[in-house]
Every structure is written in C-alpha cells, then in structure tokens.
Amino acid sequence: MSAANDAFAFGGVQVVVTGDFCQLPPVKPFQFCLNCDLETIVDTKGGFSYNCPENHGPFMGKDKWAFQSAAWKEAGFTCVNLEEIHRQHDAYFIELLQKCRLGIPFTADEIATLMDHPHNVEKATKLLCAGREVAKVNSDSF
C-alpha cells in the first residue's frame, strides 16, 4: 500500500487516532534524533533535554507529547474530549479515578479507602513483559 498523495499528512489517507494523553507518557521520547536518527544524549540538568551528536536540537522533555509535534499540527486533527463516564457510578470512586488519571497524589484517607476491601487476586489477569514469563505462568496454571 502506498500513500495516495505525499503532499498531505499521512498521504491524504484518513486517520483516526485514539487514546488518553493522561494515561502514560512516551516511553523513550527523543531517543533518536528527529533529523538524522542518531541516538541522542540525555541531559538532566535544568530539566530533561535530548542532544544529537550532530548538533540537531536540543529536543526538550516538555515537547515529548505527540500533540505538540509539527506532524500533529500538519495533520489538522479534530480533537474530541469524552467527558461522560459510563462504567462507574460512584461519585467518590470517579473522583479518585480522575485524580489517578491526572497524576494528583492521593491523601492517606483515599489510599486507605482504596486498600480497605476484600480481595482475591489468585485468578487475576497478569500482565507480563517477556514471552518466557508468559510461558511459565501458562505451564504452571494449565
């Protein structure tokens, strides 16, 4: 498949992008230079910056989000913010979820509320990083 028109972002093909930028930050922003693809050098003095060995940049940590990129602006996305919560109905729990989503620290009372409940995690879904870990859990369980 080739892009229909290289003059437009994404070759003029309609793209739908979904996600919640409050969820997780980019894992390794600017690991490689945006201009030459060389691996950058991280400078942690005075805030994070990423420096290219060929002197492109610096690329600043605060600019790591996709929605701050030139490509995002060029794409001309229409952003839709979903505001209604459908899966939860308890107002206090929703408030706690929103604090978590926005990175607002919990109070000691809120932590106690979240931790003080009966729980059985024996058959809970496990998220694992490596295939060998998955294979071990599966062989132990089945």
Model confidence band, residue 22 (pLDDT cutoffs 50, 70, 90): confident
Q: What is the pLDDT of residue 67?
A: 83
C-alpha dist (Å) from residue 78 to 16, 32, 47, 85, 134: 10, 28, 31, 21, 39
Q: What is the pLDDT of residue 1?
A: 52
Domain limits, the chain = 1-25+65-83, 28-64, 91-141
CA distance 38 to 76: 29
pLDDT > 70 in the chain, percent: 96
Mean pLDDT (the chain, rounded) = 86
Asked if residue 21 has pLDDT above 60, the reply is yes
Q: What is the pLDDT of residue 81?
A: 84
Mean pLDDT confidence for 8-28: 81
Q: What is the pLDDT of residue 2?
A: 59
Asked if residue 119 has pLDDT above 70, the reply is yes
Q: What is the pLDDT of residue 54?
A: 95
Q: What is the pLDDT of residue 123?
A: 80
Using a 10 angstrom Cβ sphere, with 0-12 exposed, 13-18 middle and 19 or more buried, the burial of residue 92 is: exposed
Contact 57, 33 (CB under 8 A): yes
Tens-place pLDDT, residues 23-58 = 777 888 899 998 999 999 998 887 789 999 999 989
